Amino acid sequence: MRAIKLTIPLVLALLFGLFGFGIQYVPHPWASDTKEFISLWMRVIGGIAWILGAYGLVHLHVVRIRRSQPGWGYSLFFFAGFLLMAGTGLYNDARWFWNAQVQGAVYHHLYDALFVSTGATMFSLLGFFIASAAVRTFRARSFEATLLLIAAVVVMLGRVPLGQMISNYLPAAAEWIMLVPNTAAKRAIMLGVSLGVIATSLRIIFGLERSYLGGGD
């Protein structure tokens, strides 16, 4: 029985993986319709994944409160925000269903006044951590660190009016660094990520990668 439970997912991954790969190269209307159909099912599965994720998150905080784990008070704020946003969102959808002209003012006000401002605050605090990490990273202890330090200083000065006051070459140098070396590095990273995705996909399709089955490789 265990062998069957292990074999069926591997066979399905092989068949659907090869089918999804091969259909990209079929110049036929049926292939386009099939890809659209698969895309719709991916949205359905994504919606189910959201439900499972919400359930897992709620279960995590329920266990934390029940066991009085450190920081369980924050879980109360989670439930307050979760129920408030979910309730106003469902109420907004219900009113929209009966009257398309209704605009859920309460929901949008909560989103704009609380969620957006809280996110801006978190990213503002994150800026200080980034600055602290940059100070530790930009210590010229090696040739590569020295190049990183020089490039960072040039870009930072070239993007502010102070750099223009120091020299007209600083903005041009900063623009060149962002357009040439930075773009090349980004493309190299994206190429490496793409190759990694292809390699991982092939490992899953041919059954070499089995961690998604829950039992490790």
Q: What is the pLDDT confidence band of residue 33, given thresholds at 50, 70 and 90?
A: confident
Indicate the pLDDT class of residue 99, thresholds 50, 70 and 90: low
- The CA-to-CA distance between both ends of the chain, in Å, stands at 19
pLDDT at 8 over 80: yes
Q: Which residues contact 21 (CB under 8 A, 6 or more apart)?
A: 205
Which segments within 29-153 are labelled E, that is strand? none
Query: Which of 200, 180, 176 lies closest to 188 in space, CA to CA?
Result: 180
Cα–Cα distance for residue pair 163/174, rounded to 1 Å: 10
Q: Return d(Cα 104, Cα 91) in angstroms, integer.
A: 8
Confidence of residue 189 (pLDDT cuts 50, 70, 90): very high
pLDDT in tens, 108-159: 777 777 878 888 888 888 878 877 777 776 666 777 778 888 888 888 888 8
Sequence-distant (≥ 6) Cβ neighbours of residue 75 within 8 angstroms = 61, 62, 64, 65
Please say if the pLDDT value at position 98 is more than 90. no
Q: How far apart are CA 17 and CA 163, in angstroms?
A: 53
Contact assessment for residue 89 and residue 107, using Cβ atoms and an 8 Å cutoff: yes
| Confidence at residue 71, expressed as pLDDT on a 0 to 100 scale | 85
- pLDDT, the chain, mean: 82
Give the pair of three-digit tokens for residue 72: 């369980």
| pLDDT tens sequence across 164-180 | 888 888 888 999 999 99
Structure-model confidence comparison of residues 27 and 138, the more confident one: 27
Q: Give the pLDDT score at 34.
A: 86
Query: Distance between CA 187 and CA 179 in Å, rounded?
Result: 12
pLDDT value at residue 140? 62
* Domain extents in the chain: 70-137
What pLDDT is recorded for position 93? 67
Residue 30, phi then psi, degrees to nearest 5: -60, -35
Q: Among all chains, which residue has been given the structure tokens 């049926």? A: 30
Contact in structure between 82 and 89 (CB atoms under 8 Å): no
pLDDT at 4 over 60: yes
Percent helix, strand and coil across the chain, each rounded to 5? 85, 0, 15
Averaged pLDDT, 66-94? 84
pLDDT at 133: 76
pTM of the model: 0.55
| The pLDDT of residue 2 | 66
- Residues 158/171, Cβ–Cβ less than 8 Å: yes
User: Among residues of the chain, what percentage have pLDDT more than 70?
Assistant: 89
